Amino acid sequence: MIRLFISMPSPASILPRLSEVREILRGSRADVKWEPTEKLHCTIKFLGDTRHDHVKPVTSALRELVAAIQPFTVGYEDIGCFPGRRNPRIIWAGMADPDGGLKILFEGVDEAMSHLGFERERRAFHPHVTLGRVQGARKIAELLEMMETVTLESPPVMIQEIELVKSTLGPGGSVYSLVAGVRLGQTGSDPDSPGQMGNWIKQ
């Protein structure tokens, strides 16, 4: 079994701003485990523990799906927390979907994965990038106050690919391995070709 999720990588043009916002919030010295820049992505669907022999069907289904979806634009805006300010656990950067492309992608992925035996999502899709995970109560009030002063806005940025990623849990954090990068609107790629990004450690 391997632990998999489907994600939308943050375009290179937005990463500096997301990192800047994260560093501003880090200045609160709140008890938060802040995500490294290379982890700043939008999760489309978490598949969880998956049999090895299901990896190729998953990749093939994703390739078939996104071949019919053209690249689209999204915006990055707002800072917030899940589940809410009374009990924040996840600090996030929000996303706007002006043309509806992200919603179409999410619904298509959820449908395609359901045909392979993965449970459909029960919660509404709230596209976001996780900036940090709350570890304790220290200085969380200060962090919440700081979040009110931080503005995140971006011009529309183009989304051109999604990724199937393997997550291996370890004592020093999770190690992510790119299983496959799948470009939107593209056909004829080799589903067995390895990803280009290799492995990276998530502290």
3-class secondary structure per residue, the chain: CEEEEEEEECCCCCHHHHHHHHHHHHCCCCCEEECCHHHCEEEEEEEEEECHHHHHHHHHHHHHHHCCCCCEEEEEEEEEEECCCCCCCEEEEEEECCCCHHHHHHHHHHHHHHCCCCCCCCCCCCCEEEEEEECCCCCHHHHHHHHCCCCCCCCCEEECEEEEEEEEEECCEEEEEEEEEEECCCCCCCCCCCCCCCEEEEC
- Would you state the pLDDT for residue 199? 40
Instruction: List the Cα angle 179/36/86 in 5-degree steps.
Output: 110
Q: What pTM was computed for the model?
A: 0.88
- Would you state the pLDDT for residue 175? 82
Distance of CA 166 to the CA centre of its chain: 13
- Would you state the pLDDT for residue 78? 94
- Would you state the pLDDT for residue 73? 96
Tens digit of each residue's pLDDT (9 = 90 or more) over 7-17: 999 999 999 99
- Would you state the pLDDT for residue 188? 55
Q: Which domains does the chain have, with CATH numbers?
A: 2-202 (3.90.1140.10)
- Would you state the pLDDT for residue 21? 97
Q: Which residues of the chain have pLDDT under 50?
A: 189-203
